[in-house]
Amino acid sequence: MSTIIRINNLKLYYDQFLALKDVSLDIPEKAITAFIGPSGCGKSTLLRTLNRMNDMIPATRIEGSVQIAGSEVYGEDVQVEILRKQVGMVFQQPNPFPKSIYDNVAYGPRLHGSPGKAELDELVEQSLRQAALWDEVKDFLKRSALGLSGGQQQRLCIARAIAVQPQILLMDEATSALDPISTLKIEELVQELKSKYTIVMVTHNMHQAARISDRTVFFLNGEIIEADDTRKLFSTPSDSRTEDYISGRFG
């Protein structure tokens, strides 16, 4: 597996507070990487550095380097809109726009270009198919997205994210607000998507990380304690703190 994201000696401060302490990590392309660890250990913070969502939080300061496909994410000439097109994100709470199903998926492609109707129809269908939602919504594309169930809304948000053809998809606890069946659907979907996209997901559900990810990264207090092949990390962790965490002794 080749590396697509390369993080080197990254520090992130929220004002005086050092939330990421010298983090280095390589993330492989077209694979699923899971971030696990107790609440407040920095999983979301690190995830947000990958598409500069932290830029929106005042008083954050960064040292070190994050590279995606060889380009510096915090380089001076980076256009953040283009970066976020390349690195899409799905959040914990499904957040469709108060627009039709069709317009939600068409939003990004319209923003980044002026596709014709046929091209857009094709892109919307293809994205909804990839998000395993097409069959459920194909007859009501003009209906409001807000009328969908939570699980359908989350798959719509995935369709919206992939409609701009990103390289990387970030998911921050994207199934934690969903019922078990919707969760399973999204897990299956994510496993299919990894043939096309690099996926980095934060999860509190260790079973989920063990079930679907290829690599797992364990965080504690703003540091990476262990990053390894998922099977290895869950069966024979190298660090006793990882062992304690995965066996439920803390967190």
Ligand X SMILES: Nc1ncnc2c1ncn2[C@@H]1O[C@H](COP(=O)(O)OP(=O)(O)OP(=O)(O)O)[C@@H](O)[C@H]1O
> What is the enclosing helix (H) or strand (E) of 183?
helix 180-193
**Strand ranges across the sheet with 3-14:** 17-28, 3-14, 60-68, 71-72
Q: State the Cα–Cα distance between residues 210 and 121, nearest whole angstrom.
A: 37
Only segment of 40-48, 131-139, 155-163, 208-216 that touches ligand X (CB under 6 A): 40-48
47: nearest Cα among 79, 73, 69, 71: 73
Closest to Mg ion by CB, 172 or 226: 172
Residue 43 touches ligand X, criterion: CB under 6 A: yes
Only segment of 24-32, 41-49, 76-84, 133-141 that touches Mg ion (CB under 5 A): 41-49
Q: To the nearest whole angstrom, how small is the minimum distance from the Cβ of residue 45 to ligand X?
A: 3
Q: State the Cα–Cα distance between residues 247 and 238, nearest whole angstrom.
A: 14
Residue 57 touches ligand X, criterion: CB under 6 A: yes
Question: Contact, 175 vs 187, CB < 8 A?
Answer: yes
Residue 53 binding result from Mg ion, ligand X, none, given CB thresholds of 5 to 8 Å by partner type:
none
Closest to ligand X by CB, 4 or 53: 53
Question: Contact, 133 vs 156, CB < 8 A?
Answer: yes
Closest to Mg ion by CB, 53 or 210: 53
Site string for ligand X, 4-33 (x = CB under 6 A): ----------x--x-x--------------
The SS3 call for residue 109 is helix
Residue 39 binding result from Mg ion, ligand X, none, given CB thresholds of 5 to 8 Å by partner type:
ligand X
Q: State the Cα–Cα distance between residues 93 and 177, nearest whole angstrom.
A: 6
Residue 175 binding result from ligand X, Mg ion, none, given CB thresholds of 5 to 8 Å by partner type:
none
Question: Contact, 123 vs 115, CB < 8 A?
Answer: yes
Which residue in 12, 31, 35, 44 binds Mg ion (CB under 5 A)?
A: 44
β-pair type (215-220, 32-36): parallel
Size of the site for ligand X (CB under 6 A): 12
Residue 44 touches ligand X, criterion: CB under 6 A: yes
The SS3 call for residue 115 is coil
Only segment of 36-44, 81-89, 129-137, 185-193 that touches ligand X (CB under 6 A): 36-44
Q: To the nearest whole angstrom, how small is the minimum distance from the Cβ of residue 111 to ligand X?
A: 26
Ranges of beta strands (E only) in the chain are 3-14, 17-28, 32-36, 60-68, 71-72, 87-90, 168-172, 198-202, 215-220, 223-229
Residues near Mg ion (CB under 5 A): 44
Residues near ligand X (CB under 6 A): 14, 17, 19, 37, 39-45, 57
